[in-house]
Amino acid sequence: MALRELKVCLLGDTGVGKSSIVWRFVEDSFDPNINPTIGASFMTKTVQYQNELHKFLIWDTAGQERFRALAPMYYRGSAAAIIVYDITKEETFSTLKNWVRELRQHGPPSIVVAIAGNKCDLTDVREVMERDAKDYADSIHAIFVETSAKNAININELFIEISRRIPSTDANPASGGKGFKLRRQPSEPKRSCC
């Protein structure tokens, strides 16, 4: 079965639950006291989609989104971006458009965009109407789901939908160069004169 490595980057304001969504997906756990994002570089999970294995490499922001300091390398080469807002905070939906603009500016042209309205278990303090968010997502051809990392609602569905929307390999001819990862040298490099 073919394995495809897919980089996914997370976007959205501090505190909307980006890391919690990924923890639920990768580790199937939820920590309500999770700190603003510290200590996570990326998380990986492989799922089967039709005849392929999709290995998601999900990059967390490391908190650099707080003061709008995400680096271009964060977006580079991403197959998909998940932009998260908090349904209980209207302002996080308002700034969503800024994140979409940022993504259009720095992300790859054919990136799959998913919008996740998190904390949908808190409907009694909802500030963002589902219909409004879905209309916006449709207007930019983005995937839309409301999620609850806490109650494990729509998390797997979100990633299944991303798998569905990722263009097949053939549609993406390799543009630009491919490099390699540095590895530690086994000690005692062989001598050589030049």
Partner 1 sequence: MDEEYDVIVLGTGLTECILSGIMSVNGKKVLHMDRNPYYGGESSSITPLEELYKRFQILEGPPESMGRGRDWNVDLIPKFLMANGQLVKMLLYTEVTRYLDFKVVEGSFVYKGGKIYKVPSTETEALASNLMGMFEKRRFRKFLVFVANFDENDPKTFEGVDPQNTSMRDVYRKFDLGQDVIDFTGHALALYRTDDYLDQPCLETINRIKLYSESLARYGKSPYLYPLYGLGELPQGFARLSAIYGGTYMLNKPVDDIIMENGKVVGVKSEGEVARCKQLICDPSYIPDRVQKAGQVIRIICILSHPIKNTNDANSCQIIIPQNQVNRKSDIYVCMISYAHNVAAQGKYIAIASTTVETAEPEKEVEPALELLEPIDQKFVAISDLYEPIDDGSESQVFCSCSYDATTHFETTCNDIKDIYKRMAGSAFDFENMKRKQNDVFGEADQ
Residues lying near partner 1 in the complex (CB under 8 A) are found at 26-27, 38-46, 55, 61-64, 66-69, 71-74, 76, 176-185, 189-194
Give Cα separations from 179 to 12, 20, 32, 61 (angstroms).
30, 32, 40, 24
Kindly tell me which of 7 and 119 has the beta carbon lying closer to partner 1. Answer: 7
Is 78 known to sit in a ligand binding site? no
CB atoms closer than 10 angstroms to residue 165: 15
Closest among 157, 136, 154 to 146, alpha carbons compared: 154
**Residues 80 and 8: beta-carbon distance below 8 Å:** yes
- DSSP 8-class letter at 186: P
18 is in an annotated binding site: yes
Smallest separation (angstroms) from partner 1 to the CB of 22 = 9
Least CB distance from residue 154 to partner 1, whole Å? 20
Q: Closest CB to partner 1 among 32 and 189?
A: 189
Least distance (Å) from partner 1 to the CB of residue 70? 9
Which residue number, 133 or 158, has a Cβ lying nearer to partner 1?
Answer: 158
Report whether 179 belongs to an annotated binding site.
no
Distances (CA, A) of 88 to 60, 103, 126: 22, 24, 4
Q: Is 12 marked as binding a ligand?
A: yes
- Structural contact between residues 108 and 77, judged by C-beta atoms closer than 8 angstroms: yes
CB of 89 to partner 1, least distance (A): 22
The answer to whether the annotation marks 37 as part of a ligand binding site is no
C-alpha 114/C-alpha 78 separation (Å) is 13
Nearer to partner 1, 1 or 194 (CB): 194
Detail the residues annotated as belonging to a binding site: 12-20, 60-64, 118-121, 148-150
